[in-house]
Structures are given as C-alpha cells and as structure tokens.
Structure 1
Amino acid sequence: MAPDLECVDLVKKFGDTTAVDNVSFSVPPGSFFSILGPSGCGKTTIMRMIAGFLDPTSGDIRIKGNSVLNTPPNKRPVNMVFQHLALFPMMTIAENIGYGLRRKKMPQAQIARKVDEALDRIGLPGIGRRKVNELSGGQKQRVAIARCMVLEPDVLLLDEPLGALDLKLREHMKVELKALQAAFDTTFVYITHDQSEALVMSDQIAVMNAGRFEQVGNGQDLYYRPDTPFVAGFIGDANRWTGRIERAEGKALQLRTSTGLAIRATATDALAEGDIAELFVRPEAIRLAGNSGDLGDFENRLQGTVTSILFNGAASRVLVQDEAGETLEVTLPQSGEFSSLQRGDRVHIGWGAAQASCFKGAA
C-alpha cells in the first residue's frame, strides 16, 4: 500500500537562501505525523508546498502514490487548518462546516446530512445554528477541523493550530486532536515548535533544523536515543557539557570539561581521544542523595549546593551548583527525605555513564 503522503528529495530555495534542503519522508495511512522545529527551520515551507501554495525548486510530492506537483491547491486531496482557523463570523456553524460542500455544488440535503454527521463526530451535536462568536476556543478548533473533514481529504495539514490558545486549553486540545484523528481515521500532518504537542500526539515526529530533518522517529526514540546534538538539546530538558575526550575504550569514554570536571559516558558518535565532544544528561537520570554511599554504582558522582528549587508538581526540579561552579538540573523526588530540601543544602548527585549521550562537537 502506498503512503498517504510522500515527499522525495524536496528542495525549496528563495534566491540564495535554501529553506528546505533535500528532505524526504513518507507518512503511512491513518497516522499522525508531526514536523517539529524552531521558528525559521523550514517546516511551514514544507506544509505550503504540500498544500500547493508554493512550488518546490526540485523534488516530488506524492499523495497515495500519485505526484501532485502539477495539481493546483483546490484540486489536491488535502485540506489545511491554519493557526487562526479562518472561520467565517457572519455564518452559522453549519454554514461554516458546509462551505466547501456548497462550493462543490452538492445537494442541500446531502450537505445537511454530512454537517450533522461531522458535528456528531466532533462531539458538538445540535449546535449548527449557533454563530462562531458563541463558541469557546476549543469548540472553534473542532469546528475548523470538521469543516476540513467533511471534504474527505486524504491528508489533513495542521499549521500550529494550537498556537493562539491559552495553556490550559492547549493541554486539553492535545488529547482532543489525537482523539479526532482516530475518529476520522485520516492522516494528519502537523507542524509545531512545541515539543510537548508533538510528543503527546504523534505516531512519528520529524525534528527539523536549518532546512533539514535531523531525525525521524517516535517520541521515545527522540527523547532517549537522539541521533544528533540538536535533537538531544531540543527535545526535553538536558544538562549539557562541552569538553575533550581524554580516554576512549570502545564506547566507554571520559570527557574533561573546561572547568576540569571529568564525566564518564557512553559514545553515541565515533569518538577518539582528543576529540571535542558534547555531552547530555537528562535531569531525571540524575539521582539526588544525602551521602555518596546512597548513589549505588553510578560512575559519575558530585557534591554540590542547592541554589534553587523549582516547584512544578510532578516535574519539580532542583538546581545544584557543583564545586567547579557549574549548575546542574536534577529532578526532585516529591516525597521522602527531600521533601524538606532547602536552598543552601549540601547534596550528593550521581548518574550512570550509560545515561549520558555523547556526540562529536565542533572544534
């Protein structure tokens, strides 16, 4: 079975600037695929090429195995939800959802049936006569998706659709969007700069940087097994050091930082003695202890002083300054001996060499 969407060697240049640099990927039928990256990385350019609003400089775009390069936007089997939704305030909800069907000259009775079915599927039955300004932000999101889905696209493109919502509603809509995607059983291609959105909703995520895909994988692959320093630093939180490899025995390494800290790690890239490297350790991989003996067999052990406690429920963190003056972020247990931890307390911290990702760095 052909992928619902396939981009092959996609390039887009604006004058001397390359916005998309030889990107290839495929999206299986019925999946939720996200393109995640910082502003200006090229993700919106890819979306606009898929929709037909921009022509690629080179490469191909295929939907269900068929190239759409010469197909105008209104003839492509895709639809798009924009960040600001673009609902028509002068129309009722039913008129908004049925707008594309009326443009296709569908009989009114059939339009009414399809609109009612769409409202049922988005969990808003019976609101067809209401106006857009009577809806909450989350309801407007669902109506915008319903307006696209009644046209039965092969692929639905979503361009940062949660960006204009407040934090509480964004958290709620992550779950809603995933449920809607499953209910419609349609391929969603979602672009965002918010890693939490991508991690929660996506079957596969492409991390994009400077026009290229750094890594494509599921959330666990990207978080626990990053392929590049950019992915390790962009996905989730991480303590980060740069230093020189002073010992390399197979994949077992020791890195010396500029402040003199020696860190044992496991190689991710091919590294040799003398190489400059970047090393990343997740805050939750670091154990906090009252004394060194409680750190088990961890190869890396430090003493430090608590400089700040960042309470945030289950994800609360402690900032610990080591003896060399570097600050580490450590996940704080919510109970037990550290529930009364205070700024200025002396603590021991440690982590295993296998929990540190180490990459070759720029000289």
Structure 2
Amino acid sequence: MTPDLECKGLTKRFGDFTAVDDVSFSVPAGSFFSILGPSGCGKTTIMRMIAGFQDPTSGDIEIKGKSVLNAPPNKRPVNMVFQHLALFPMMNIADNIGYGLRRKKLPKDQIARKVDEALDRIGLPGIGNRKVDELSGGQKQRVAIARCMVMEPDVLLLDEPLGALDLKLREHMKIELKALQTAFDTTFIYITHDQSEALVMSDQIAVMNEGRFEQTGTGRDLYYRPDSAFVAAFVGESNRWRGKIERVQGNEMEMRTDTGMLMRGATHGRSLSAGDSADIFVRPEAIRVTRDATELEQFDNRITGRVTSLLFNGAASRILVRDATANEEIEVNLPQSGEYASLARGDEVHIGWSGAQGNCFPVGAD
C-alpha cells in the first residue's frame, strides 16, 4: 500500500550548515508518526519542508505517491497546527473552523454542515457561536485541529502544539490528541522534544540528532532496545557509567568504571572487545532496593550505599543512593507497593540488578 507520506534523501543546507542530512522515511496511512529530538536537531526544518514553507536542498517528498516539491504550500494536501494555534480572536468558533472552507468558496450550507460535524468529532458540539477567549486551553487545541481537519488533508502536521500548555493540561491533551487522530483516521506527523508525548501517542517514533535519524521504531523498541548511546540517554531516564571493558563472553561483558566499580552488562550483539572504552546504561526501574542484602543474591550487580536524596513523585518516586566505595550516586525507582516509603536520607540500603539490564555501547557510538 502506498504510504501517505514518504521522504527520500531529504537534505537541507543553510550555507555551510546542514540542518537535515539525507533523511528518508515513510509513514503508512492513518498512523501517528512522531519526530523526537532536542532543540536544533532539524525536526522543525523537516516539518517546514513537508508543508512547503522551505525547499529542500536535495531529495524528494511524496504524498500518496506523488511528489509535492513543485507545489506551493496552499496546493499541498497537508495542514499544520502550530504551537501558538493562531486562532482568530475576532471570529467565533464556527467562523474559525470554517475559515479555510470559505477561502475555497464552498456553499454556506455545506460549510455549516462540515463545521457542525467537526465540532461533534472534537467533542464540542453547539459551541460555534462562542468566542475564542471563552475557551480553555484544551478546547482551543481541539478547535485548532478541527479547523485543519475540515479541509480533509491527507497529512496533518503538528509543530509542538502542547508546548504552551501547563503540565496537567499537557498530560490530558496527550490522550485527547491520540483519540482525535483515531477519530479522524488521518495521518499525523508530530514533532516534539518531549519524550513522554512521543511515547504515549505515537505508532512510530523517529529519534533525531544533528540532522539525522538515530533510530525509528515503536516506543517500546526505543525504550528497551536503543540502537545508540544517544537514544539510550535521550529516551527515558538512565544511570550512565563510563569505563573500560575487561571481559566479553558471548552477550555478557564486564566493565571497570572510571570510578572503580566492576559492573556486568550485556552487549546485545554490539561489537565490543576487552580494552574498549564503553558506556553502560541502566534504567532506574531495573534496579531493586532492599534493606536486606541476602534478597539480592540472584543479581550479578550488587551495591551497598546510603540514601542521599528522596525524589517524591507518587507512584514514580525515586531515591538517589551513593555507592559506599566508588562514591557515585545511582538513581533507583521505589516499589509502588510503598514498602520503602519510610526511607530517609542517610539510611543504608542494598541495590542490585541483572547484567542483562545493562545496555552497553562503545564510546563514540552516540
């Protein structure tokens, strides 16, 4: 089946600076595809090239199998939701949603019908006569999406649309956006620097760094099977140690960290040898904490230390444990059972994890 969007060898240079470097990807019809990366990595430049606001230096952009390189923005079957929404405050909600349809000179009764249908689909029926400033932040987001969707684009582009919202509303709108994408059955291309947004909503995610895609896959792929040290560090939280590999046997390895800790991890098929400098990543939730060291005998990494900080966040609470020998702080998730809720700074604890939970990459593999 022909994908809704396909970019082939997309490159954009500004003088000597390469913002997007030979990026190729395709997005199946009706899917939610996110481009995730830090500020300045090139994700907005890709979005602007798809929309037609910038021309690529080289490469091609196809929508439903047809190149759109020579088409101006208003002739491309795409629409775009910006971070600041750009709703017209002097118009009511119905006029905002129907603005593009009026520009296309559709009959008034057809415009009214399409606007009413869009309001129903975004869960805001009957508010067409209200003003923009009467709406909450989340309602404005839905109106901005409805204004795009009445134009029936093949692809909807969303440029960090949740960036201006407060934390609680952002959390709510993640679920809303995914529900709207499913309801409209339209391909969404979403760019963000917020890993949580991408992980919650996306069918596929591309992690971008310095103009290139580091890895593309599902949220689970990126989180549990990162292809590079950059992805391992950028997606989710991790403890990270650097050191020299002392032994490699099959998929197992031992590394002496720069602070003197002997740590066991896994190569996961990567080419690593004794003597190599390497980074190892361990997720905080992979580490078990206990007051009784005998409970950790099944783990090949075991450390005794003292609690230096308590990071309370409800079910996602964590502690920092300072290793007694290497004097390093290690971030550890607390069990959701609450059995260690009484831990205090200075308490001695024992932590342990399996070597298979340690993702190891050669230094320079970012």
TM over 0.5: yes
Where in structure 2 are the equivalents of 1:106-255 lying within 5 Å?
A: 106-255=106-255
Tell me by how many angstroms 1:248 deviates: 1.0
SS at match of 1:86: coil
2:100 corresponds to which residue? Answer: 100
| Displacement after TM superposition at 1:279 (Å) | 0.4
Please list, as runs of the form range in 1=range in 2, the aligned pairs for 1:283-322 lying within 5 A after superposition.
283-322=284-323
Alpha carbons of 1:8 and 1:164: their partners in 2 closer, same or farther (altered >3 Å)? same
Deviation of 1:129 after TM superposition, in Å, equals 0.7
Q: Work out whether 1:361 is the aligned partner of 2:363.
A: yes
- Pairwise CA distance, 1:291: 2.2
* CA shift digits 1:56-114 (9 cap, x unpaired): 00001000011100011000000000000000000110000000000001001100000
Cα RMSD over matched residues?
0.9
TM-score, normalised relative to structure 2? 0.98
Counterpart residue number, 1:264: 264
2:156 match: secondary structure: strand
Q: Distance in 1 between matches of 2:153 and 2:320?
A: 49
CA distance in 2, matches of 1:139, 1:249: 57
1:50 equivalent in alignment to 2:50: yes
Partners of 1:179 and 1:6 lie apart in 2 by 24
4+ residue stretches of structure 1 with deviation over 4 A?
A: none
Measured after TM superposition, the shift of residue 282 of structure 1 is 0.1
**CA separation in 1, counterparts of 2:109 and 2:211?**
47
Letter in 2 for 1:37: G
State, as a whole percentage, how many aligned pairs show the same letter: 75
Residue of structure 2 aligned with 1:343, choices 317, 324, 345:
345
**CA displacement 1:173-205 (0-9 Å, x = unmatched):** 000000000000000000000000000000000
Q: Give the whole-Å Cα distance in 1 for the aligned partners of 2:199 and 2:340.
A: 30
**SS in structure 1 at match of 2:303:** strand
Deviation at 1:362, TM superposition (A): 3.1
Task: Structure 1: give runs of 5+ residues left out of the alignment.
Answer: none
1:199 is aligned with what amino acid? L
How far apart are 1:23 and its partner, in Å? Answer: 0.5
Q: Which runs of 5+ in 2 are unaligned?
A: none
C-alpha distance in structure 2 between counterparts of 1:102 and 1:296, whole Å: 71
Partner of 2:334: 332
Alpha-carbon deviation of 1:336?
A: 5.4
SS at match of 2:197: helix
Q: In the aligned structure 1, how far is the partner of 2:148 from the partner of 2:285?
A: 41
Match of 2:74? 74
Give the aligned length: 363
Q: How much does 1:337 deviate?
A: 4.1
Deviation (angstroms), 1:296: 3.6
